[in-house]
Amino acid sequence: MRIQKNILAVHDISCVGKCSLTVALPILSAAGCTVSVLPTAVLSTHTGGFEGFTFRDLTGDLPGILKHWRALGLRFDAIYTGYLGSIEQLRLVSRLIDEFRAPGAPACVDPVMADGGRLYASFGPDFPPGMAALCRKADLILPNRTEAALLLREPYREGTQNRNRTEETLRRLSELGPRRVVLTGVSFSPEETGCAVYDRDTDEIGYAFSQKIEGAYHGTGDVFASALIGALANGFSLIQSAREAVGFTCGAIERTHLAGTEIRYGVNFEEGLAEYSRRMLPDPAEKSERKKEGNLDEI
């Protein structure tokens, strides 16, 4: 019998403009995981490309929620954090990881705070150092290149990158604390984009690329991270999970591009869910092969 992984997803709810919890929930569910949520804020839309959005910070609600969970004795098989609404929330989430992870359960921190060289509208300059402190707790982090530059306190460089510098960035990010790093938005040629993956235990670096489609499609970081964590939860190795996530995210971008949808509303990942789910939950014989290569417990 298959035992479902119970994953805690800590993100905001953006009511419109698919990102954070509105993508993490369906994708992790399609991967066969039980998903518990801790909403960090409620916004009328996400903050990238809409004017006049509302923002209700839920930091004040978290202690009561955690108190109830403590009374229930809850523990999670993985904790996956994304958009966090305040500096205080960073500290609360750091403590939550210590208290609510099951023994050996990984903490996966997507340090959502910036893209395209710019910090998101809702954050001040004190946020990146706070996020770097949370990353120290993580087993796996998934920054984009702008977030990586902020975490490492170095300038952001536009355009394609070179392999040596990317590999140095991966190692330095790992020195912040996490054993595993997935750097997104990596591109060594104008035609392709993808991610670089580093595992400190083996000192191995891998890449997953696909064809580039121009445009800053919103919420793709959350689609990618959710698909990757869903694959890890199903016993795929880190590099296999990265390949699954790149394929899933690129399919979503391609459909959105072909449909000509406004990019701020997010990508059409929904029509890729059935295929993703089939790839995540194949027959039991194949699954046992995967277990040999690595799984969520080994992040």
DSSP assigned state of 29: H
**Helix intervals (H) in 61-196:** 62-72, 87-100, 127-135, 145-151, 163-175
C-alpha span between 213 and 190 (Å, rounded):
10
Rule CB under 6 A: say whether 19 interacts with ligand PXL.
yes
Rule CB under 6 A: say whether 48 interacts with ligand PXL.
yes
Of 11-19, 165-173, 179-187, 286-294, which segment contacts ligand PXL by CB under 6 A? 11-19
Rule CB under 6 A: say whether 111 interacts with ligand PXL.
no
DSSP per-residue codes, 220-277: HHHHHHHHHHHHHHTT--HHHHHHHHHHHHHHHHHHHHHHT--GGG----GGGHHHHH
Q: Toward ligand PXL, which CB reaches closer, 83 or 100?
A: 83
Which two three-digit tokens encode residue 239?
A: 């590099």
Rule CB under 6 A: say whether 120 interacts with ligand PXL.
yes
Among 44, 47, 161, 277, binds ligand PXL (CB under 6 A): 47
C-alpha span between 273 and 296 (Å, rounded):
20
Among 105, 112, 267, 280, binds ligand PXL (CB under 6 A): 112
Rule CB under 6 A: say whether 241 interacts with ligand PXL.
no
- Identify any residues that bridge with 55 across adjacent strands, giving them in sequence order: 43
C-alpha span between 59 and 232 (Å, rounded):
29
Of 12-20, 71-79, 123-131, 189-197, which segment contacts ligand PXL by CB under 6 A? 12-20
Among 8, 10, 24, 43, binds ligand PXL (CB under 6 A): 43
Rule CB under 6 A: say whether 221 interacts with ligand PXL.
yes
Of 14-22, 26-34, 124-132, 153-161, which segment contacts ligand PXL by CB under 6 A? 14-22
Among 69, 80, 83, 248, binds ligand PXL (CB under 6 A): 83
Q: Toward ligand PXL, which CB reaches closer, 130 or 221?
A: 221
**In this structure, are residues 256 and 218 in contact, taking their beta carbons and an 8 Å threshold?**
no
Q: Binding-site residue total for ligand PXL (CB under 6 A)?
A: 14
In the complex, minimum distance from the CB of residue 67 to ligand PXL, in angstroms, rounded to a whole number: 26
CA atoms in the 13 A half-sphere facing the CB of 4: 12
DSSP assigned state of 43: E
In the complex, minimum distance from the CB of residue 114 to ligand PXL, in angstroms, rounded to a whole number: 9
**In this structure, are residues 44 and 16 in contact, taking their beta carbons and an 8 Å threshold?**
yes
C-alpha span between 17 and 216 (Å, rounded):
13
Q: Toward ligand PXL, which CB reaches closer, 184 or 240?
A: 184
Among 7, 9, 20, 108, binds ligand PXL (CB under 6 A): 20
Rule CB under 6 A: say whether 50 interacts with ligand PXL.
no
